[in-house]
Copies of this chain bind each other. A is one copy, B any other.
């Protein structure tokens, strides 16, 4: 399907957040800035055929739930671990975007001295924010204690850092990590 070209800086190119983060990570790797990779989707393999003289073919497999986050890597000796999430909502970020085990994983990483965070994209306005785990923890706990099941847009704006979109790298999240590290 053909998408109309929107003349609005770098926004709305029709790429997913994952595409943009993969490009960003390739740029970081090529420039020696950071080593961050997306983890493969975990698959439960049930049946594999081994044809003669050609590659093994997986004939039956199922998607498994990931036990960790989407991305991890290393930056100046610091372990980075993060989840990328997009929402079509414009007024809040629904916490149902997280699985409990992702929250637990980010908490474990934080306790172990790593930097765990979430990159949130509001798709309609193409705004991207980085929220560090301690803030996510606060809002997750609020929900568990019977409070609202989302983070309001105002709270996202107040409790995370906006990442401006660029050309190269597309989503320069390492700048936000620098500001977290310099605190």
Contact = CB atoms under 8 A, between A and B. Distances in A.
Given A34-B112, A37-B68, A41-B43, A78 B77 contact: yes
A75 interface: yes
A85 to B, nearest CB: 20
Interface in A69-106: 72-79, 81, 105
Contact of A79 (B40, B58, B59, B78): B78
A138 interface: no
Contacts of A154: none
Given A35-B108, A58-B61, A74-B79, 9 more contacts: A32-B111, A35-B114, A40-B42, A40-B64, A43-B58, A57-B61, A57-B62, A74-B81, A77-B77
28 contacts: A32-B108, A32-B112, A35-B105, A35-B108, A35-B112, A37-B67, A37-B68, A39-B40, A40-B40, A40-B42, A40-B66, A43-B43, A56-B62, A58-B58, A58-B61, A61-B61, A72-B72, A72-B73, A74-B109, A74-B113, A74-B114, A75-B112, A76-B113, A77-B78, A77-B79, A78-B79, A78-B113, A79-B79
Interface of A: 29, 32, 34-35, 37, 39-43, 55-64, 66-68, 72-79, 81, 105, 108-109, 111-114
